[in-house]
Amino acid sequence: MSYLGLVGLFGLIGLTGLLNKVHPSQSGGSIRLLGLLGFIGLAGFWIPSLGACGAFGALGVWNHQNSSIARLAYLGWLGIIGVIQTISYYL
């Protein structure tokens, strides 16, 4: 269960979408704000299942114009593991 807290740190990848700006003519600029969900991943040091939900922050680079950064968005789907674990913890 301790690995779940580290999964949330993948959400910090979404911050690269905020640091590496895309051209204003490209659509989806507001989706970059999903990168801020990566900060929830820092909660994984205390609450592992909630921290894994922070991996959704990586989805903020889904349609980045740099293809190598855009491929990292697939790690954001690991946040589903955190949602399932959080629900099972509270049930």
- What are the pLDDT tens digits along the chain (91 aa)? 567 777 888 888 888 877 877 777 777 667 777 778 888 878 777 888 777 888 888 888 888 888 888 898 898 898 888 888 888 888 8
Those residues with Cβ within 8 angstroms of residue 66's Cβ, 6 or more apart along the chain or in another chain:
20
User: Is-above-0.85 flag for pTM?
Assistant: no
In 3-state terms, the chain is what percent helix, strand and coil (to 5)? 80, 0, 20
